[in-house]
Amino acid sequence: MAQITEFGRTAAGGLVQRVMLRSETMQVAVLTLGATLQSVRLDGVAHDLTIAAQSVADAEGAMCYYGSLIAPVVNRLTGATAQVGTKTAQFDKNFLGKHVLHSGPSGAQHQLWTIAEVSDSALTLSLHLPDGMGGFAGNRDVAARFTLIGARLQMDVTVKTDATTLWNVANHSYWNLDGRADYAGHTIQLAADHYLPTDDEFIPTGEIADVTGTDFDFRHLRRIAPHHPPLDNSFCLGRTQEPLREVLMLRGASGVTLRLSTTEAAVQLYDCRHDRFAALAIEAQNWPDAPHHAGFPSIELGAGQSRTQTTAWHFSKE
């Protein structure tokens, strides 16, 4: 059975548990607060491959997005409002006083999830999001399953709603494969022909830009470093969910490699500029701010419908 320990207590007194999953080559820790991927260790590598909170206070505070599962809607929603079905929804503003970021203060990353099933190498967490929480419609039942097989970790997130709602989730892990002060020296390859430019408030402009000839062309393995280029953009992989496929490779100077597979239509890259470029956030998701751009794929989920998102990380060391 997986090792389950007490990680601490929330400010409200809730118990946060840490679940350690193991395979023959890896150890992965998940927190029940925010369904957070808190530690990823590969045998033969002395350092953790991800950066996440080491205390509940940090997980509730400045590091609430580090490794957590962002839901019901990751990224920004312009004006903290959107047309959902036949209604106009108003959400809790938490970004620049006028937009919503990562579902606002009641997002799933701030909630205590329940351990539904657990074994040595698999964990299922469950969460109920009630109708109206944060302005989002529908009673939504969510299950997040983490499965560790060898050096491969897979996350399957399934939701069912009883009312038309918005749904676009992502794991928000930050990766530094070298264990250094920042991600300088990493190389990246990403199978995206287009990206979404943003305005000075980091909101997509609506343009779907060709990466050719830009700093955002990662179709061939390429070195990145802080500021080179600045990153807080979504990269378009398609327009619909697809069968699980590999879309990204990140390699550290140390020889550790992460290969990301997803069913989703986009990957957001964020350079962690707020924290001295300590790691690179890689978020498999649908296109951001979709309700405000007619040319973007819809993120609506109808009453009685369910949806499953799968993301997988495969690790190796040369």
**CATH number of the domain that residue 275 is part of:** 2.70.98.10
Q: Where are the alpha helices (DSSP H) in the chain?
A: 56-60
Question: pLDDT tens for residues 16-32?
Answer: 999 999 999 999 999 99
- Over residues 84-129, the pLDDT tens digits come to 999 999 999 999 999 999 999 999 999 999 999 999 999 999 999 9
At 2, is the pLDDT very low, low, confident or very high (cuts 50, 70, 90)?
A: confident
Instruction: Write the pLDDT tens digit of every residue in 229-279.
Output: 999 999 999 999 999 999 999 999 999 999 999 999 999 999 999 999 999
DSSP readout, 120-166? SSEEEEEEEE-TTGGG--S-EEEEEEEEEETTEEEEEEEEEESS-EE
Residue 215 neighbours by CB distance under 10 Å = 13
The CA–CA distances, whole Å, from 67 to 28, 110, 222 equal 12, 12, 25
Q: How far apart are CA 146 and CA 155, in angstroms?
A: 5
Average pLDDT over all residues of the chain: 98
Count of the separate structural domains present in the chain: 1
Task: State the residue range of the domain holding 87.
Answer: 3-317
Q: What is the model's pLDDT at position 1?
A: 78
